[in-house]
Amino acid sequence: MGFIKHENDVTFVDVDEHTVSHLSEQGYAAIYPADMDLTGVAVAFVSVTALTAACGIDLSYLEQACKSLGAALAECDTQPVVAFRCTIPPGTTRDRLVPLLEEASGKQAGTDFGVCYNPEYLRAYCAEQDFLQPRIVTIGRDPHDAGFTRRLTDIYSSFEAPFYQCSYEEAEFHKYVHNLFNATKISFFNEMRMVAQNIGLDPRQTFECAALSAQGMWDSRYGTQDRGPYAGTCLPKDVGAWLSFTEERGLPAPLLNAVREVNRACGGT
């Protein structure tokens, strides 16, 4: 819907009959994969679920989407861009998705059609707002396909967000860094909350103060530079002292234990 609000012509494609019917009833153009015609299409955005499986990640839905897109590309006499949006491990676009598109279409990526990885950063409770007001637009691309990449930058130009262009693998890695940092921060404060509750403290005001005092909170680039393990007179000492404190009281501190192990693996203490 966000692309429509920015005055783009959009056709939705889905395998689910209810979804296609619902969108059609609302007045949107909605079709099934078998009905796709990519002739004249600038970009085909692929937002297909990549589920967690016992082996890591289940790419079966994404692979099927590539086969459907490949069939449409085979019949297409123009050069659209395929832009993948879901979270996928580094190397997936280049090593699995591009070959699938080429095999299904009988055409060559970078010549007959373009491929980009354009991850989404949408929170479930305000996805539309996040789409319309992105903090950044990331485009993973083949550096030799500048013309295809420009298609995406043209579409996103009206969103007034900074662009980050990089390789497929860097963009895929970045999406995981984005999500995993959020997960780690939540778990850190949950671990500290459990300790606080066990020793009879209400941590809410403490966390508010930490948001103002801790450099890792107010300095968004803190820790991102390649400066080796944490060191100095405070951090190693305080991590060790805290782990001794929690161990003596039988309190769990798995995340902080892992923090120290990572630091040691990087050459610290």
Distance in angstroms (rounded) separating the CA atoms of residues 82 and 86? 13
Distance in angstroms (rounded) separating the CA atoms of residues 37 and 48? 19
Q: Both tokens of residue 99?
A: 């070959």
Of 114, 115, 156, 116, whose CA–CA distance to 136 is shortest?
Answer: 156
Q: Which of 55, 66, 86, 234 does the annotation list as catalytic?
A: 234
Taken in order 180, 181, 182, 186, is the CA torsion positive or negative?
A: positive
Distance in angstroms (rounded) separating the CA atoms of residues 221 and 169? 22
DSSP character string of 123-181: -GGGHHHHHHS-S-EEEEE-TT-HHHHHHHHHHHGGG---EEEE-HHHHHHHHHHHHHH
Write the secondary structure of 83-112 as one string of H (helix), E (strand) and C (coil): EECCCCCCCHHHHHHHHHHHHHHCCCECCC
Active site residue 234: yes
Evaluate whether 112 touches 105 at the Cβ level (below 8 Å): yes
Distance in angstroms (rounded) separating the CA atoms of residues 81 and 155? 12
The angle subtended at Cα 226 by Cα 222 and Cα 227, nearest 5°, is 80
Residue 223 DSSP label: T
Distance in angstroms (rounded) separating the CA atoms of residues 55 and 52? 8
Known catalytic residues? 234
